[in-house]
Structure 1
Amino acid sequence: MTSRLERPDGGGELLTDVGEYHVHELIENLINGDGPRVIGDDCAVYELDDRESLLLNMDRLPLNVETYNRARLCVAQTLSDIFCMGGRPCSFMVALTLPRGTTLAAVETLMADLSAELARYDVRLVGGDTKEGQAFHMVGFALGRAASDRLVRRTGARPGMVVGVTSAKAKHWGLRWANALIRELDLSVPPATEALCRSADEVIELPEAESRAAIDTGRVRAGLDLSDGVGGGVRILARASAAKMVLDGGALATLPDQRLRPVAEALELPLAAFALSPGYDWENMYVVDADGVGDVVDSVASVGGRFTVIGRIGEGRGVELDGLAIDEKRLPVDEKFARDYVWEQRFSAWRDDCRAILGNG
């Protein structure tokens, strides 16, 4: 099957002409066609029977991840999708490409780190694959189980419903992203702020209990994990459900950690910009029944987390922020094949997009 993005003569549009999300849409259309929706959610779903489904998810670790963060990020990005859809992960596999000069000690450390991260979620490492290559690569694969009647898919958002996000252990957002910004943009901030952000990069708390508490209310109608940030979540849900996302800037401003003000000032951005980080907070976005939002808030709080309402589903299509239509392509996301910048330049691109949407600090 030949797509319009790749032709036998080598012509046609490039991935950078359309961006990552259009590539996703193209693949979904090719696979799903006019039949049942097979792909397009956070995980692949295999229905065992009317009561139980298997959730399968695969994620490749990005390039240039720090050695100390490889196992942590691989586990987080692979399990996050399963938790978001309402599943309980049980088994994990990993595929590694290792350069010839890798030491045995490095492999031992990586596997020990991987096992320790998985143990936090009571998940077993059961196998994988190892190959030689010129550069390090790591791919995680996880298998989980979920109640078929509680699966959270990306479709299902309808006008009048409410949009909210989790905060694992009620923490505030932005510290891990701020750490990356300080490093990559060489920002001058107080030493205490730099140390705070650096320490936040040493742990990732997935909203496991919070997601389960929200879903168990029976009031969640759609959702996805925020591996691409709020901007990515808004764009993806709006497309999947053919809906308008109406965002509340005041609610978004309550999400970031107040201790990040020196970083926001160094960037000449309002603190609210850290609610729009491109995925470094590893939370989930859910669309819930308007008359059930109180149940969701209380249920998530009962396990020590927080569920913050950040908007609603409106009539029509598109994205609004505080009553004003905005270009959804300016929403900061962790998008690959981006037209306007290469992935390594996402830090400055994020700053420019936030200034366009939120103004200067």
Structure 2
Amino acid sequence: MSHPVSGLGEFALIRRLAARLGPARRDVVVGIGDDVAAVEVRADRYLLMTCDAQVEGVHFLPGVTPPERVGRKAAAVNLSDIAAAGGRPTHFLVSLLLPPDTAVEWMEAAYDGIAHEAALFGADVVGGNVARAGQLALDLTLLGEVERDRIVRRAGARPGDLVLVTGSPGMARAGLALLKQPAPGLADEERRRLVDAYQLPVPRIREARAMGDVGGVTAMIDVSDGLAADLGHICDESGVGLRLLARSLPVDEGMGRLARSLGVDPLEWVLGGGDDYELALTARPGRAEALQRAVHDATGTPLTVIGEIVPREAGRHLVLDGGQEVPLTVAGWEHFGAGHP
């Protein structure tokens, strides 16, 4: 009897497949289950490896997102994984899965987008593959490197650590909403910012490197599935609980106005929107202010304290403005669910 992958979900499927593998080689420092794999290649640094795809109709809207932006985002989501480990990107491999009727001009523009985004962060496109397929997809592999004493993983958060996030999660979800339905009352500049947040996420490579210069980050992940879901991954890997403060969550003004106009609580998008590619992290309390200053001085990006890590048995809660604690629900991205587009 066969069982569809949709019945398992993404993370249960990953665990099931990983269980079929034998022990990793001795040079594997980080294997399946983190943002990137890390392999020891030199005494002072690790080789980082990640891969991610953009599939038409699943990750981008056909006929809506310009091809150059599809290519840039395909590169950016991989760059974001390298950022979450505190590393530097170096080399891309690009696998193109193309239906026979794919326009050459569309593909050239998408490839230009990949090359442009890679160059922004000092990485090169060095090879790849082209294959015929029933659905268009850009499947990228990215290599990077990180100093041995600066690698950051999902595991490592400890009770007493503060929880922080870069930028304003939820903006990508707002941008997707704008692409799917008109919303009056937003200025053109606000509309552009929100759509850009969805189509052109900024990988936080420079922010992560600035944090590495300061030190004190104990765990980190990029926000691809939703802030609550991704912080949940840190809790799972670190064996800890979580308290988030609703009043401290950064709510972009335009995003909040759009959400309310559509009858949505803005915190739903902040906590569960996904596709933001911000960095969520934990840090020792005595380092938080220095980390905030370093990131702002280096990049201008805000780094906001939004909660704290607690013992596992304390659970995961959201503290409302009145002080009431409610269970932190996870409603982020699920690859084998309906998907965003």
TM-score, structure 2 as length reference: 0.86
Code of the aligned partner of 2:217: V
Is 1:336–2:326 an aligned residue pair? no
Change over 3 Å in CA distance of 1:202–1:62 after alignment to 2: closer
Deviation (angstroms), 1:95: 0.2
| Whole-angstrom distance in 2 between the partners of 1:37 and 1:131 | 30
Is 1:52–2:45 an aligned residue pair? yes
| Whole-angstrom distance in 1 between the partners of 2:52 and 2:104 | 25
Question: Aligned match of 1:264 in 252, 259, 267?
Answer: 259
List aligned pairs for 1:310-349, cutoff 5 A: 310-317=306-313, 318-322=315-319, 324-326=325-327, 330-338=329-337, 342-343=338-339, 346=340
Q: What's the counterpart of residue 277 of structure 2?
A: 282
Q: What's the counterpart of residue 286 of structure 2?
A: 291
List aligned pairs for 1:6-45, cutoff 5 A: 9-10=1-2, 14-31=4-21, 38-45=31-38
| Whole-angstrom distance in 2 between the partners of 1:196 and 1:150 | 33
Q: Please say which of residues 300-309 and 267-276 is displaced more in the overlay.
A: 267-276
List aligned pairs for 1:167-182, cutoff 5 A: 167=167, 172-182=168-178
Change over 3 Å in CA distance of 1:32–1:151 after alignment to 2: farther
Q: What's the counterpart of residue 227 of structure 1?
A: 224
Deviation (angstroms), 1:201: 4.5
- Structure (1/2) with the larger helix percentage: 1
| Whole-angstrom distance in 2 between the partners of 1:332 and 1:274 | 10
1:96-123 C-alpha deviation (Å, 9 max, x unpaired): 0112122332232222222112111121
List aligned pairs for 1:101-180, cutoff 5 A: 101-167=101-167, 172-180=168-176
Paired-residue identity, %: 26
Change over 3 Å in CA distance of 1:249–1:25 after alignment to 2: farther
Q: What's the counterpart of residue 97 of structure 1?
A: 97
Unaligned 5+ segments in structure 1 are 1-8, 348-361
| Whole-angstrom distance in 2 between the partners of 1:285 and 1:183 | 26
Deviation (angstroms), 1:180: 1.0
Change over 3 Å in CA distance of 1:311–1:240 after alignment to 2: same
Deviation (angstroms), 1:159: 0.8
Change over 3 Å in CA distance of 1:29–1:217 after alignment to 2: farther
Change over 3 Å in CA distance of 1:301–1:67 after alignment to 2: closer
Q: What's the counterpart of residue 211 of structure 1?
A: 208
Q: Contact (CA 8 Å) 1:91, 1:125: kept in 2 or not? A: yes
Q: Alignment partner of 2:312: what SS?
A: coil
Q: Alignment partner of 1:150: what SS?
A: coil
Deviation (angstroms), 1:325: 4.3
Change over 3 Å in CA distance of 1:105–1:14 after alignment to 2: closer
Question: Aligned match of 1:61 in 54, 64, 76?
Answer: 54
| Whole-angstrom distance in 1 between the partners of 2:72 and 2:229 | 22
Q: How many residues align?
A: 323
Unaligned 5+ segments in structure 2 are none
Is 1:251–2:253 an aligned residue pair? no
Q: Please say which of residues 140-149 and 264-273 is displaced more in the overlay.
A: 264-273
1:252-271 C-alpha deviation (Å, 9 max, x unpaired): 1xx12112343122232333
Q: What's the counterpart of residue 233 of structure 2?
A: 236
Change over 3 Å in CA distance of 1:113–1:26 after alignment to 2: same
Deviation (angstroms), 1:81: 0.5
TM-score, structure 1 as length reference: 0.82
List aligned pairs for 1:180-219, cutoff 5 A: 180-184=176-180, 186=181, 188-190=183-185, 192=187, 194=191, 196-201=193-198, 203-219=200-216
Change over 3 Å in CA distance of 1:307–1:30 after alignment to 2: farther
Q: Contact (CA 8 Å) 1:43, 1:57: kept in 2 or not? A: yes
Q: Alignment partner of 1:336: what SS?
A: coil
Q: Contact (CA 8 Å) 2:86, 2:209: kept in 1 or not? A: yes
1:134-182 C-alpha deviation (Å, 9 max, x unpaired): 2211101111111011110111111111111122xxxx44333212113
Deviation (angstroms), 1:194: 4.2
